[in-house]
Amino acid sequence: MDEKMVTKVNSRCYRFSNVDFEPESRSLYWQDSTVSTLTYEECRLLEMLCYHAGEVLSARILYASTSLPDSSFSQHQNSLCSLLAKSYRHGEKILPLDVVGDHGYRVALPQKTYQRQAEVIPNPSEPDPLDIHIDEPVQELKTQRNVVPIITGTLLSVLSAAAAIIYLM
């Protein structure tokens, strides 16, 4: 007896006053229900800063901890600048990401860190409300098919009458 087992994983989420950050989807979920997608590098940086929320991390530490092997320090700095720009919404700073003098970067403590519930995956062995049941009467399907020729015939008659009126004008 071989049964497939599915493991549900809830994704980690950091909630700030007007935005949620979900690293798994690389997304910022704004209070107005819009979503901003982060690049892979931006997501890694923000995740690291959220993990160390409240602490100041230098650009060098962030670079060493989050950068891909083939990226340069200037690319890393560009990602930091881009992430800082995405912390604003309609000209207002929403994501509490700050530059702390020459020392580095800091994200304020989130209001809440939680596991976002994964969508429930339906069990294929249980019937879905939209499934068609085989034991339903076949007559219902025939009745629905008979309506199409009636609608088509009526539509053709209306179109023919309209064409005749236009022709006579």
pLDDT tens per residue across span 107-139: 998 887 766 554 455 555 665 555 555 555 555
- Per-residue pLDDT tens over the stretch 42-83: 999 999 999 999 999 999 999 998 887 888 899 989 999 999
- pLDDT at residue 167 tops 80: no
Angle at 113 between CA 110 and CA 119, to 5 degrees: 135
Mean pLDDT of all residues in 19-34: 91
Helix (H, G, I), strand (E, B) or coil at 19: strand
Which pairs count as long-range contacts for 14-17, CB under 8 Å and 24+ apart, including other chains?
14/50, 14/53, 14/110, 14/112, 14/113, 15/110, 15/111, 15/112, 15/113, 15/114, 16/94, 16/95, 16/96, 16/108, 16/110, 16/111, 17/94, 17/111
* Burial grade of 116 (CB within 10 A; 0-12, 13-18, 19 or more): middle
pLDDT for 25: 92
Mean pLDDT of all residues in 14-41: 91
- pLDDT at residue 28 tops 90: yes
- pLDDT at residue 104 tops 50: yes
- pLDDT at residue 15 tops 50: yes
